[in-house]
Structure 1
Amino acid sequence: MAHGGTLRLAYRSFAGFDRAFDRQIQAFRESRPGIEIHKQDFDLPELHSLMVSGRGCFSGDWDVFLCVSDWLPALMLERRLQPLNRFLEGTPPSDWPGGWSSSLVGAQRDGEGQIFGMPYHDGPEIFMYRADLFEDPKEQEAFRRRYSYSLRAPQTWSEFLDVAHFFTRPEDDVYGCVLAAQPDGHNSVYDFLIQLWSRGGRFLDGSRVAFNGPEGCAALQYLTDLINKERVTQPEPLQYESVSSGECYARGLGAMMWNWSGFGVVADMPPSRIIGKSKYGLLPRGDQPGGRHVSLSVYWLLTIPAGCQDPETAWDFMRFVASPEMDRVTSVEGGIGCRLSTWRDPELQKQFPCYAQIEAAHESAEILPQIPALDQVIDILNESIDQVHRHRKSVEETLSRAAHQVEALLVE
């Protein structure tokens, strides 16, 4: 609660957020003497438990909340966040909303036109690979001898598997790919959906569940096989969430990874061991007819919890952070800024080549359905996927059961 000129900020643990918020808070203090901002980070499940399933948004303990777009449908429905319309109409950030991609201004808007968040950190998911390995003439020759085609960034998931096998070398502590399979309701679910969409499958068909069809079964089987049958991932991938997997790739343990574009920045800044060695592109597509290159758009937003007692000051901070200068700070400190001007900045693209891929990734990006039960649907899929990864359930049985559970939620 804002007492005596103090705001409290709750956000997800991530070194890029830590560094960016430190600089942004310091700059805000210099522009607004007398205002203090205390930040506190939480692991993803802890943040969800506090602010989404718990009473953190109503408690008055928090004035600004960094929230992922997946959580917004439930938060907006339950009015756990304060609408920002009056601020956006009276004192909007410069270039609002045209300075942002249209893909970053929809998830925070409810059916009544109320807006509940400002974009802070963007995905989308992109494909990243070790160019120093892929472009090594000896590796190229060895790959062609083994597979009878040229080594390149894989265009299909079958090519991805070939390359992953080729570069899996446990004796050198190098693996074909880095995978974030920790059951935290985040990347393990998103990876399944990417595999589903890239094979031409659908999450929902109108109001009916569609993720348990042939494409969905093939998608989940592929993912669990990477871990348990093919063994081409880093050791113990079920212990890695998105942040730790990005750090794993930056340590040079993987030849390939698909993950949030922010981890392309992590790979190209200290203490990464592979600075300047990665290239970036579109994710592979499914091999079958209907397969397509697809990404996933999920983003983080600064929001004002319902219990905040000083929303005007909270908005001042959010508006300040949304400026072109502070959006760029987010980017150079390890996050991904959200303004078009940031993505298109030639200096940033030179320093972090992944920026050149972000707009193209948005063009092929899917979003999760913005339904009130989304948070519960993700929980169901999260548990189901983990059951398969741990050999406790078959793919078909698990997805069929998950589909029945989700359909029950959709008719409530």
Structure 2
Amino acid sequence: MDKLRFAVRKFEPFERAMEKCWAAYQQVYPSEVEMEFVPLDLEELTAAFFEKKGLNNGDWDIIHINTDWMARAYETKGLSALDGMIVQNPPEDLKGAWSESLQALQCFDEQIFGLPFHDGPECLVIRKDLFEDSQEQMRFQARYGKPLAVPKTWPDFMTVAAFFTRPEDNLYGTVFAGYPDGHNAVFDFCIQLWSRGGDLQQGDVPVKLDQPLAVDALDFYRSLFIKDSGLHPESANYESVQAGAAFARGEVAMMVNWFGFASWAQIDTASAVKGKVDVAAIPSAEGGMSPSLNVYWLYAIPEGSRHKQLAYDFIRFAVGRQQDKLLTVEGGVGCRYSTWYDSEINRMIPFYNKLAELHDTARTLPRLANWPQIAHIIDDTVIAAIKTDESSVSLLTKAQEKINAWL
């Protein structure tokens, strides 16, 4: 009997959606094929794919892979090109199914190495009920002499975060995912840099940290973690899923995080803020532009899979309209235009149709095969800024020296 092994990004809505998707697939295409879902967190996935050579040695038949890792997977010949199978049996409504911003990062040398699974750029996620509460508005006006509003600048963000921080009520102004996994602290640093008009790439240097705007970005990020800044006390220990869960438990007034955690908190039956969520543009520095970050998840087939056609047949089914919508209903973020503008989805999640405009300002990270190693250097730098008194200039200078060795 054939058996497929699927490395799934560990997150309950993803796991639930994949189980239901497989059950639906078996109803349409009944067979004796078995599917083994293996949920793994970010560090476990990278270890399984790269350190354990799982993309090449046959450990996996289908994977969820983050676009941050695609260049490395391509350079190590770890993924199977899908073009031939797509031509023979294309996914439903292939032309016009997805935004162009969800089709670039999986393509190398005019070949396709993955199909969109889960989307959702970073945005500002807010407790709409708190911002619209008349008593909160009166208290804010009395304390600060101005109306309570969704913050558009980082100084206003800090003011609102401090206002909503009430440890006695287990409520905090904001939460950041500071756990050192090479991802969210890096993303947050990049957003701080971009929101100040900066960029990682400087001329021919793809990653340059020893620059004044990077110092400003790191100084601000470390200031979040000082006492009484309005930050959830577990921020240094949370990765993005845990930060999103804290928001869904009603412990946080607003957060910069992935769109998917907003939609999850809005509809999940266990969410304490169900029906009370909205999203907005990420704040910027005074005079800066609101940034967003486009990192998305793909279905892909490892080169080592011995069941490539079976794997593709399931992926083709999974990226169809109905299953893309199912993912959203379960708490993920579907990638198709049809899901973004679906009337039922937008009744459940009134801000869902904002996805397209978030993509308009979304930026991407450098497309480097060694980006994971560089990201860990940035991550270590951000964590050191939180935990030590060493100056940001010194930390970024040392980080640049390490990055130069990789570049």
Q: CA deviation at 1:404?
A: 2.0
Q: CA deviation at 1:97?
A: 4.2
SS at structure 2 position matched to 1:232: coil
The amino acid across from 2:167 in the alignment is P
1:284 counterpart residue number: 283
Q: CA deviation at 1:388?
A: 1.2
Q: CA deviation at 1:270?
A: 1.3
Q: What are the residue-to-residue correspondences of 1:222-371 with 2, within 5 Å?
A: 222-268=220-266, 269-287=268-286, 289=287, 291-371=288-368
Q: CA deviation at 1:13?
A: 0.8
User: What TM-score, normalized by structure 1, do the two folds share?
Assistant: 0.95
Q: CA deviation at 1:60?
A: 0.7
Q: What is the alpha-carbon distance in structure 1 between the residues aligned to residue 156 and residue 87 of structure 2?
A: 50
Q: What is the alpha-carbon distance in structure 1 between the residues aligned to residue 350 and residue 49 of structure 2?
A: 35
The amino acid across from 1:351 in the alignment is M
Which structure 2 residue ranges, 5 or more long, are not aligned? none
Given that 1:202 and 1:211 are in contact with CA atoms closer than 8 Å, whether structure 2 keeps it comes out as no
Given that 2:8 and 2:15 are in contact with CA atoms closer than 8 Å, whether structure 1 keeps it comes out as no
Equivalenced residue count is 404
1:94 counterpart residue number: 92
Q: What are the residue-to-residue correspondences of 1:352-391 with 2, within 5 Å?
A: 352-391=349-388
Given that 1:264 and 1:352 are in contact with CA atoms closer than 8 Å, whether structure 2 keeps it comes out as no
1:213 counterpart residue number: 211
Per-residue CA deviation, residues 96-122 of structure 1 (Å, 9 max, x unaligned), is: 242100000000011x11111011000
| Selected match of 1:25 from 15, 22, 25 | 22
| Selected match of 2:56 from 50, 55, 58 | 58
Q: CA deviation at 1:406?
A: 1.7
Given that 1:247 and 1:266 are in contact with CA atoms closer than 8 Å, whether structure 2 keeps it comes out as no
Q: CA deviation at 1:6?
A: 1.3
Q: CA deviation at 1:215?
A: 1.6
Q: CA deviation at 1:230?
A: 4.2
Q: What is the alpha-carbon distance in structure 1 between the residues aligned to residue 72 and residue 258 of structure 2?
A: 23
User: What TM-score, normalized by structure 2, do the two folds share?
Assistant: 0.97
Which structure 1 residue ranges, 5 or more long, are not aligned? none
In angstroms, what is the RMSD of aligned CA positions?
A: 1.3
Q: 1:97 to 1:228 in 2, by over 3 A?
A: farther
| Selected match of 1:104 from 84, 102, 105 | 102
SS at structure 2 position matched to 1:67: strand
Per-residue CA deviation, residues 228-276 of structure 1 (Å, 9 max, x unaligned), is: 2443111121110111110100001011011111101221121000111
SS at structure 2 position matched to 1:55: coil
Q: CA deviation at 1:392?
A: 5.9
Q: What is the alpha-carbon distance in structure 1 between the residues aligned to residue 178 and residue 117 of structure 2?
A: 25
| Selected match of 1:48 from 43, 46, 49 | 46
Matched, 1:76 2:74: yes
The amino acid across from 1:326 in the alignment is Q
Q: 1:379 to 1:144 in 2, by over 3 A?
A: same
Q: What is the alpha-carbon distance in structure 1 between the residues aligned to residue 393 and residue 367 of structure 2?
A: 26
Matched, 1:401 2:398: yes
Given that 1:68 and 1:300 are in contact with CA atoms closer than 8 Å, whether structure 2 keeps it comes out as yes
Given that 1:280 and 1:353 are in contact with CA atoms closer than 8 Å, whether structure 2 keeps it comes out as no
Per-residue CA deviation, residues 178-230 of structure 1 (Å, 9 max, x unaligned), is: 21111111111101111110110101123313333222111111111111244
Given that 1:264 and 1:354 are in contact with CA atoms closer than 8 Å, whether structure 2 keeps it comes out as no
Deviates more, 1:132-141 or 1:222-231: 222-231
Q: 1:205 to 1:39 in 2, by over 3 A?
A: same
Per-residue CA deviation, residues 333-382 of structure 1 (Å, 9 max, x unaligned), is: 11101101101112111201331221111000000111222121111111
The amino acid across from 2:98 in the alignment is W
Q: What is the alpha-carbon distance in structure 1 between the residues aligned to residue 71 and residue 12 of structure 2?
A: 27
Deviates more, 1:191-200 or 1:128-137: 128-137
Deviates more, 1:366-375 or 1:318-327: 366-375
Deviates more, 1:213-222 or 1:152-161: 213-222
Per-residue CA deviation, residues 306-357 of structure 1 (Å, 9 max, x unaligned), is: 1101100000010000100011111111110110110111211120133122
The amino acid across from 1:70 in the alignment is D
